[in-house]
Every structure is written in structure tokens, then in C-alpha cells.
Amino acid sequence: MNIAIVADNFSMKWGGESSFPPIYAKLFRERGATVWIVCHARVRPEVMQLFPDDGERIRFVEDTPGMLRLFRIGQKLPYRVRDSITGMFNHMMSQRLASRMTRDLIREQKIDVVFQPTPISPKSVSYLYDLGVPVVIGPMCGGMNFPPAFRDMDSRFTRLAMKIARGLSPLLHRLVPGKLRADVLLVANEQTARALPPGCRGRVITVVESGVDLTVWSPAPVSATSGPVRFVFSGRFVDWKGVEFLVAAFRKVRERVDNCVLDLVGDGELGPRIREICAEPALKDHVHLHGWLSREDAARVVRECDVFVMPSLRECGGGAILEAMALGKPIIAAHWGGPGCYVNDHCGIRVRPSSRDAYVDGLADAMVRLAESADLRARLGQGSLERIRQQNFEWQAKGDHVFEILRQVARRDGASESTATPVDGEIGVPASH
């Protein structure tokens, strides 16, 4: 099977959804497919390093002067406005160029199916339509807002801009109908399915958006050594990740439990503020700031800790949670969005973000419970391992699932729907809602 993967960002170094396209490319190649890549030139060095023998099967989209100007404007705006407005229009211009390259590939190389794994937002438009071959988009994950008590974390300007962007979304999808005409739309959950533009004609199939590589994220033998209980967070230091609430909660934990530390892996816009808080006398000897680490080094730090905490308040998925679960760690997370779905009572403690004070207190109470009970940590950690196995959160299982969907849609192209073999996880109604 000849598969064309089309995605702006194609990078393991950038993490997040940018890592999904190269992971899928590797998984599909392992399953015997010939993979063609269309991506942005900004990731050229890494893509050529990841696939050094595939240069003839890679096409790069170069920035136009207009795209560069729009990017510079976006850097001066709040991140949600940048991502949802200037970023969206920049993506549209890039995807328009990528669609032309994809059409050339289809003519030249007999592509069987086109796969667009990112962006994962259900509101973003796709220029991949009327290509003459099936198109599969996703898995998408989105439609998330802050919990009601935290909506003011967005400025009034940001909320207005977001409302306008979402209001324009149906019109944009009529003008650029890639998702409306896609053969298959992969979604992480029912919430994302509801956020799809009205009028989609393709099948909607549920596939978890994130995955975990068990060759990197594998548990270490349980140590009998007695030391401080180590809590760990890994991710971007931005407001919606909730790292400020975590640090505030840990300050309360330190008032009740002496033998504990907090490891923070990552950095971002709130980095200076977090470093300032953690330098306070009550915290400075008990918080370890690691900065950004490689996947392997981040895995080592999380593996050496006892409890993984994900306080994110607008997390559609939660790849970092899955990685910690694969290491056999108990989880503390918000009972909201993706973390609230990934984590259950058998593998962690979920805290309802009903208000700022209640959320900080809830995080602190959960941390104290786990700090004071090695048995509870062991039981929930074992529950994490079992949940990873039972829910097919592992990348190899997910690769099998998505590859089978691509194989079936390519085989069915031109055949009647009644002869198709059903795929597990399909939502039974079209995405016309």
C-alpha cells in the first residue's frame, strides 16, 4: 500500500501532536507500506535525519512572504488567539501548497490513500479533498474549554476572538471542504465528534489520539529503598497546564508531609514565574527544576519518581499521562477533559476543578494521601499498567488499528458500503451533527 502522510509539523523533538506523523510513518513502514511524506520545510533537518534513505519520498512546503508576515503578527498575540486565528490562516496557506504537492504525488506514484494525522483540532480546515483517492483525517481531539470556574483565565479579548473564530468555522469548512468530504474521520471521543463541522459525509471512528512507546516507557523494578516520596510533572509551563496550581498545592503538602519532593520537567511562558516561586525558602530545597529533557531522559526522571501529577485544565488528550501509566505510576489529574477519561479510580485520583481554592486543596489532599500510603501507591501503579494493556493505549496496537482502517478504506474505494468489513470503534452515526 502506498500511503501519503500530510502534516505541517513532522517532529519528535517538538513533542505533542508534532510527534504523531513520524510515529505513524515508522509504524506503517514496519507493516510493509511505502510511505510518502508532505510536510513543512521548517522540519527538514530532522525529517531527513529520521528517514535518511527516503529523500525521494519526501516533499517540503516552503514559507511564502505572506506566511512569514502572518507568523510575525501572531507572535504578538495571546497564544490561544495565535493558535486559533493567525495560526489557522497560516496553516490554511501551508495546507493549500501541501495539497498541490499531494496531487502531484498521486499522479506520479499511484498513492492508495492519503492520511492527515494533524492538526488534531476538529475545527481546523483541510485542503485534502477531490484527490481521486480516499482521505483519512485524525485522530482528532478537541472541542475543549476551561472548566467554568476557570474561564476567566482567558482574557476578554481572547474569549471574543475565540467566539468569532468558532462562529466562522462552519463557513470556512464550506469554503474548504476537506473534512466534509473525507472518507473517514478519526476522533478521540464523543466530545470531539460533536465538535466536527456539520455536514461531514465520512465514517466517524473512535481512536484514542495519544499513544505510548513501551520500548521507551517501561517500568523499573520496584525499589525497597526508603527516601522522600517524589511527585513529578512533565509538560509545558503554560497557564492551561495548571503548573502554578500544582506548585501552590505542593506548598500545602509541605506543611503536612515533610518527606516529599516535587520534580518539574519542562519549561515555557510561565518558566520565570515558576522558578521565582520555587526559589522561596519553603520550596527551594524540595523542588527540582529539570528544564526540557530528551524523551529518554524525561522517561528516566518519571521512572525514578513515585507519583505523576497532571493538573492540566484544558487537556484534550494526555500523552504524558499514558507514558507515566506505562511506567506503573499512580496518577493525580483533573477530573476534566482527556485526563478525566484516561484516568479512573483503579489507577489514580481525579480532582474536580470546581474553583481555584478547591482545586489546589484537592490536589494537595491527593498528594498527601499518596505520600502517606505506599500500599495505595503500589495498588494504583499496578492499575495504571493494567489500564494501558486493556485499553490498547500502546503505539503498536494503535498502529495496527489505524493501518487496518487505511487498508480497508483503500480496498473499499469504489466498492459498495455494504461489502465493507466494519472497523472496531466506529461511531454509528455520520458526523452531520
Query: Phi/psi of residue 18, each to 5°?
Result: -65, -25
What would the pLDDT profile of 362-388 be if each residue is shown by its tens digit? 999 999 999 999 999 999 999 999 998
Q: What is the pLDDT of residue 426?
A: 55
> The domain that contains 293 carries what CATH number?
3.40.50.2000
Q: Which residue has the higher pLDDT, 293 or 151?
A: 293
Q: Quick one: 174 and 149 in the same domain?
A: yes
Q: Taking each helix axis from N to C terminus, what angle separates 374-390 and 356-371, rounded to the nearest 10 degrees?
A: 100
Range of the domain at 236: 229-390
Q: Does position 39 have pLDDT exceeding 70, yes or no?
A: yes
Q: How confident is the model at residue 85 (pLDDT cuts 50, 70, 90)?
A: low
Q: Quick one: 69 and 140 in the same domain?
A: yes
Q: Which residue type, as a one-letter code, is found at position 403?
A: F
Can you tell me whether residue 223 is helix, strand or coil? coil
Say if 432 falls within a structural domain: no
Q: Quick one: 93 and 187 in the same domain?
A: yes
Can you tell me whether residue 29 is helix, strand or coil? helix
Q: Which residue has the higher pLDDT, 67 or 296?
A: 296
Q: How confident is the model at residue 416 (pLDDT cuts 50, 70, 90)?
A: very low
Residue 60: CB atoms within 10 A of its CB come to 18
Q: Does position 431 have pLDDT exceeding 80, yes or no?
A: no
Residue 273: CB atoms within 10 A of its CB come to 14
Q: Which residue type, as a one-letter code, is found at position 225?
A: T
Q: Quick one: 40 and 159 in the same domain?
A: yes
Cis preceding-peptide flag for 139 (omega within 30 of 0): yes
The residue-averaged pLDDT of 298-323 equals 90
CA dihedral 82, 83, 87, 91 (to 10 degrees): 180
Q: Quick one: 39 and 132 in the same domain?
A: yes
What would the pLDDT profile of 256-308 be if each residue is shown by its tens digit? 998 999 999 999 889 999 999 999 988 989 999 999 888 889 889 999 999 99
Q: What is the pLDDT of residue 202?
A: 92
Q: Does position 60 have pLDDT exceeding 90, yes or no?
A: yes
Can you tell me whether residue 260 is helix, strand or coil? strand
Q: How confident is the model at residue 84 (pLDDT cuts 50, 70, 90)?
A: low
Q: What is the pLDDT of residue 415?
A: 43
Q: What is the pLDDT of residue 430?
A: 41
Q: How far apart are CA 391 and CA 73, in angstroms?
A: 42
* Mode of pairing for the β-strands spanning 58-61 and 34-40: parallel
Q: Does position 117 have pLDDT exceeding 90, yes or no?
A: yes
- For residue 198, what is its C-alpha cell? 456539520
Q: Which residue has the higher pLDDT, 101 or 123?
A: 101
Residue-by-residue DSSP string for 182-198:
-SEEEESSHHHHHHSPT
Q: How far apart are CA 355 and CA 142, in angstroms?
A: 23
Number of structural domains in the chain: 2
Say if 217 falls within a structural domain: no
Using an 8 Å Cβ cutoff, are 137 and 7 in contact? no
Q: How confident is the model at residue 342 (pLDDT cuts 50, 70, 90)?
A: confident
Q: Which residue has the higher pLDDT, 210 or 138?
A: 138
Q: Quick one: 155 and 14 in the same domain?
A: yes
Q: How confident is the model at residue 13 (pLDDT cuts 50, 70, 90)?
A: confident
